[in-house]
A and B are shown apart, each in its own frame.
Chain A
Amino acid sequence: NAGVTQTPKFRVLKTGQSMTLLCAQDMNHEYMYWYRQDPGMGLRLIHYSVGEGTTAKGEVPDGYNVSRLKKQNFLLGLESAAPSQTSVYFCASSQRGGSSYNEQFFGPGTRLTVL
């Protein structure tokens, strides 16, 4: 199992450009999450999904959109990038029940710089 994978690993954007970050998981997890990590602020939840076709806002959703068209994929979009969105983005997934309920599994991260 690859677990949770993220594409791309690094990206540099200019202000106003758009991009999509892809997260994929092969663990058949129901729940998926997008976080951003900034120094001294821990991880903050951007959006999450509780199943295919559903998404919901997290703590810091402004400037981002998401889609979950397939159960295994969760896309994070930036329509018009801003320097404040320079961050490391982590995707995570978890299962709805079972012994690992509520345990989140993380991807390797995407380092995004917006100039």
Chain B
Amino acid sequence: AQSVSQHNHHVILSEAASLELGCNYSYGGTVNLFWYVQYPGQHLQLLLKYFSGDPLVKGIKGFEAEFIKSKFSFNLRKPSVQWSDTAEYFCAVNDNAGGTSYGKLTFGQGTILTVHP
């Protein structure tokens, strides 16, 4: 079964610092990769997704992620964080893409990001 690991449980940064959140998955076949964000008290929203093509994916609010197939990784980055980025971030993977996965996602444990003004 697929598993997804997010290395950091809680990251604390000051505004304007750079951010990188790690995500590794276990399945070695074709995958679709996602990063979702959950702001306090809200539901999950899609930040960005990778299906195929350019492994560097740009999402909303200045976030980007790089898919490195050889490392089974999909790390999330942002050059300069803002206080409003305080949220919990989830990496998710859909494997057997194009087959019979029915869109099922396996989520990582989540990383809480706290940004101090």
B105 within 8 A of A: yes
Contact B97 A108 (CB under 8 A): no
Contact B109 A31 (CB under 8 A): no
**Interface residue tally for chain A (C-beta within 8 Å):** 25
- Residue in B4, B49, B107, B110 whose CB lies within 8 Å of A103: B49
Prevailing SS type, chain B contact patch: loop
Residues of B within 8 A of A58 (CB): 104
**What size tier do the contact residues of chain B reach?**
20 to 34
B28 within 8 A of A: no
- Residue in B6, B49, B97, B102 whose CB lies within 8 Å of A48: B102
Residues of A within 8 A of B90 (CB): 42-43
- Residue in B9, B42, B105, B108 whose CB lies within 8 Å of A108: B42
Contact B110 A42 (CB under 8 A): yes
Contact A90 B109 (CB under 8 A): no
A72 within 8 A of B: no
A residues 1-43 with Cβ under 8 Å of B?
31, 33, 35, 40-43
The proximity string for A residues 47-61 relative to B, scoring 1 for CB distances below 8 Å and 0 otherwise, is: 010100000101000
- Residue in B101, B105, B106, B109 whose CB lies within 8 Å of A40: B109
Task: Give complex CA distance A44, B104 in Å.
Answer: 11
B residues 23-53 with Cβ under 8 Å of A?
32, 34, 36, 42-46, 49, 51
Residues of A within 8 A of B6 (CB): 42
Task: Give complex CA distance A104, B104 in Å.
Answer: 9
B103 within 8 A of A: yes
Residues of B within 8 A of A48 (CB): 102, 104
Which positions in A face B, CB cutoff 8 Å? 31, 33, 35, 40-45, 48, 50, 56, 58, 90, 92, 94, 96, 101-104, 106-109
Which positions in B face A, CB cutoff 8 Å? 4, 6, 9, 32, 34, 36, 42-46, 49, 51, 90, 92, 94, 97, 101-110
Known contacts A56-B102, A102-B105, then 8 further A-B pairs from the complex at CB < 8 Å, ordered by chain A residue = A40-B9, A40-B109, A42-B4, A42-B108, A42-B109, A43-B105, A45-B105, A103-B49
Complex A-B: 26 CB contacts under 8 Å: A33-B104, A35-B107, A40-B110, A42-B6, A43-B44, A43-B92, A43-B105, A45-B104, A48-B104, A56-B102, A90-B43, A96-B103, A101-B103, A102-B51, A102-B94, A102-B101, A102-B105, A103-B34, A103-B46, A103-B49, A104-B103, A104-B105, A106-B36, A106-B43, A106-B44, A108-B43
